[in-house]
Amino acid sequence: MAKKVYTDYFFDEPAYNTHDGGYIPLVTPKTAPQPLAIPPLLKPDKQTATDDYYTVKAQASETQFLPGKKTKTWGYNAGFLGQTIVFRNGKKTHIDLKNALPELTTFHWHGLNVPGPITDGGCHAPVYPGETNHIDFKVHQPAATTWLHAHPCPSTATQVWKGLAAMVIIKDDVEDQLPLPRNYGVDDIPMVLQDREFHEDNQFDYKADYDPDGVQGHTALVNGTVNPYFDVTTQRVRLRILNGSNRREWRLHFDDDLAFAQVGSDGGIMPEPVYMTKVMLTCAERDELVIDFGKYQPGDEVTLMTDDTPLCHFRIKAFEPDDTKLPDHLVDIKDEAPTPGLPVRKITMDGMDEQVAMDGKKFDMQRIDARQKVGDVAIWEIRNTNSTKNGMVHPFHVHGTQFQVLARNDGPVYPNEHGLKDTVGVNPGEIVRIKVKFELTGVYMYHCHIIEHEDGGMMAQIESYDPDHPKTYHLMDMETLRNAFAKEKGVKPEDVWMPGC
């Protein structure tokens, strides 16, 4: 029986970012094509059968994006973005977080199920310039494509724009047995999708580009590469795609409408592959795609597009025939019943521009907005209160857990939303119902992942608590944060530019 192939982007077209008043269209680069940069794997400092030890260093550097002068950038163990980190489910992980930048930063493990707020690395876990913090945690979640990025509210967007984002891959025994490409850099390819604006002498100027509804640029970057190509040397290729943009949505398709299979989403492998010719990622979402290039001949080229802009050219080389087929069923995902008696948690994502809010309130670092007991399975309803006429898709993200998407406006979820997720796009006027369980205690943020929106206050905090072992937390406050940035920049606190404040 022929498999169903989906041919639309699922989301509401009137809400695409192309309709924003401040939309910046991508421009096809005039620079010569260059090989897609593949971030190297970060080598552990030490490794045993049970424990891994890493050093992750945030550093300033320069990167050659365009002909001419290099661009001043930040990265993790790299000039821009970062080396890819690989964790193994079940292993104890120990990480030194080194800050070699001129200002404080944080190291947020987006998608990892780790304790909050310090290990999670949100705004309450600053690492000051020249200092090193240490974290320890045990990896206990399925194989997935997650990521690391800075999260020092309200300067998250600024630091991500400078380059502080890196892919983090989790491996496990279940995924090991699936017939998926997994030779990193050969047939298992990370693709961090971002856009940037280049100013005089090829420099970034975030302040000049600032838009409270999300900063965008005319130039697409894939792993920091402008106008990349990738040489295809195997018939089947797995793309681990991360929308690492501050604002931009990516609507992906091949120029000849080649169909592909999505096998994974934010939280890991999906129960079954979903076949499609188009897929849209909102900010912070990850999709794992398997592409079969078997119908092409050496010398052919097929191009991955976003809307009408080419992103990456896949140049077909000679490869061995591969008749491997994806099974109809990939993994089992435990479907836990909601905890009896729990009320539905209702959350609103409100406004645009400077008026963004969560539940009608601006974010306060010292305010706990909600509490949920560890182990409880709760239903949350996320409503986007924007107008359906001129509103935006708001990507809703929860720290410290992976959730299941249950319904959209009491109807079915999108076909590729049956796996575990930590970020879900919510259309204007829509209610998305999700099922949330925290396995660890901590204070966690939930917010819109248009990064300027979270910096602008569309964010709140929930405490995951154990009534038998109550905890208190030292939470960062805005005055301390502002004073720290002022000291580092050598200016008065009132003169610190903190977008969103």
470-488 pLDDT, tens digit per residue, is 999 999 998 998 899 889 9
The answer on pLDDT for 234 being more than 90 is yes
Query: What pLDDT, on the 0 to 100 scale, is given for residue 153?
Result: 86
Average pLDDT of the residues in 121-142: 97
CA distance 334 to 353: 39
Query: What pLDDT, on the 0 to 100 scale, is given for residue 107?
Result: 98
241-292 pLDDT, tens digit per residue, is 999 999 999 999 999 999 999 999 999 999 999 999 999 999 999 999 999 9
The residue with tokens 């992103």 is 311
Type of residue at 122: G
Mean pLDDT, the chain, as a whole number?
Answer: 97
Q: CB under 8 Å to 392, separation ≥6 — which residues?
A: 15, 17, 20, 213, 352, 386, 428, 450
Cα-Cα end-to-end distance for the chain: 56
CA distance 42 to 430: 41
Please indicate, yes or no, whether residues 103 and 215 belong to a single structural domain of this protein. Answer: no
Of the candidates 89, 153, 81, 87, the one whose C-alpha atom is nearest the C-alpha of residue 121 is: 153
Cross-sheet strand order for the sheet of 345-350: 357-358, 345-350, 377-384, 431-437, 403-408, 420-421
Query: What pLDDT, on the 0 to 100 scale, is given for residue 497?
Result: 84
CB 402 within 8 A of CB 348: no
Please indicate, yes or no, whether residues 362 and 438 belong to a single structural domain of this protein. Answer: yes
Q: Which domain holds residue 255?
A: 188-316
306 within some domain: yes
Please indicate, yes or no, whether residues 402 and 299 belong to a single structural domain of this protein. Answer: no
Query: Which tokens hold the place of 52?
Result: 């891994």
Please indicate, yes or no, whether residues 367 and 458 belong to a single structural domain of this protein. Answer: yes
Please indicate, yes or no, whether residues 122 and 25 belong to a single structural domain of this protein. Answer: yes
The answer on pLDDT for 167 being more than 90 is yes
280 within some domain: yes
Secondary structure (3-state) at 454:
helix
| Alpha carbon distances (Å) from 167 to 128, 234, 240, 354 | 23, 23, 9, 30
Please indicate, yes or no, whether residues 127 and 25 belong to a single structural domain of this protein. Answer: yes
Dihedrals phi, psi of 354, to nearest 5 degrees: -75, -10
CB 214 within 8 A of CB 246: yes
CA distance 393 to 390: 10
Residue 499's pLDDT band (boundaries 50, 70, 90)? confident
Query: What pLDDT, on the 0 to 100 scale, is given for residue 2?
Result: 73
Strand boundaries in 64-162, DSSP class E: 71-76, 81-82, 85-88, 92-99, 108-110, 132-138, 144-149
435 within some domain: yes
Of the candidates 55, 48, 137, 62, the one whose C-alpha atom is nearest the C-alpha of residue 97 is: 55
Please indicate, yes or no, whether residues 354 and 239 belong to a single structural domain of this protein. Answer: no
Q: What is the pTM of this model?
A: 0.97
Bridge partner list, 222? 193, 225
Type of residue at 32: A
CB 460 within 8 A of CB 361: yes
Considering 132, 150, 176, which residue would you say is the last residue of a domain?
Answer: 176
Query: What pLDDT, on the 0 to 100 scale, is given for residue 53?
Result: 98
Average pLDDT of the residues in 115-119: 97
* CA torsion through residues 180, 184, 185, 186, sign: negative
CB 448 within 8 A of CB 398: no
Strands 260-265 and 286-292: antiparallel
Q: Which of 42-46, 136-140, 313-317, 473-477 has the lowest mean pLDDT?
A: 473-477
41 within some domain: yes
Q: What angle do CA 197, 198, 201 make, to 5 degrees?
A: 165
Q: How many domains does the chain have?
A: 3
Please indicate, yes or no, whether residues 102 and 212 belong to a single structural domain of this protein. Answer: no
Can you give the CATH number for the domain in which 52 is found? 2.60.40.420
220 within some domain: yes
CA distance 36 to 92: 33
CA 130 to chain centre: 27
DSSP string of 379-401, one letter each residue: EEEEEE-S-TTT---EEEEETT-
CA distance 53 to 281: 32
**What's the half-sphere exposure (Cβ side, CA atoms, 13 Å) at 377?**
11
CB 314 within 8 A of CB 303: yes
157 within some domain: yes
313-362 pLDDT, tens digit per residue, is 999 999 999 999 999 999 999 999 999 999 999 999 999 999 999 999 99
Please indicate, yes or no, whether residues 415 and 305 belong to a single structural domain of this protein. Answer: no
Dihedrals phi, psi of 175, to nearest 5 degrees: -65, -30
Query: Which tokens hold the place of 19?
Result: 């309709």
CA distance 255 to 1: 27
Secondary structure (3-state) at 242:
strand
Q: What does the DSSP 8-state code read for residue 411? A: B
Please indicate, yes or no, whether residues 210 and 147 belong to a single structural domain of this protein. Answer: no
CA distance 314 to 234: 12
Q: What does the DSSP 8-state code read for residue 489? A: H
CB 145 within 8 A of CB 422: no
Please indicate, yes or no, whether residues 311 and 264 belong to a single structural domain of this protein. Answer: yes
Please indicate, yes or no, whether residues 354 and 467 belong to a single structural domain of this protein. Answer: yes
24 within some domain: yes
The answer on pLDDT for 500 being more than 80 is no
The answer on pLDDT for 182 being more than 60 is yes
Query: Which tokens hold the place of 485?
Result: 């940035």
Q: What is the dihedral of CA 58, 63, 69, 72, to 10 degrees?
A: -20
The residue with tokens 């999700």 is 434
Dihedrals phi, psi of 145, to nearest 5 degrees: -105, 110
325 within some domain: no
Average pLDDT of the residues in 436-461: 97
CA distance 398 to 342: 19
Considering 297, 316, 335, which residue would you say is the last residue of a domain?
Answer: 316
CA distance 126 to 69: 32
Query: What pLDDT, on the 0 to 100 scale, is given for residue 145?
Result: 98
The answer on pLDDT for 501 being more than 80 is no
378-416 pLDDT, tens digit per residue, is 999 999 999 999 999 999 999 999 999 999 999 999 999
The answer on pLDDT for 1 being more than 80 is no
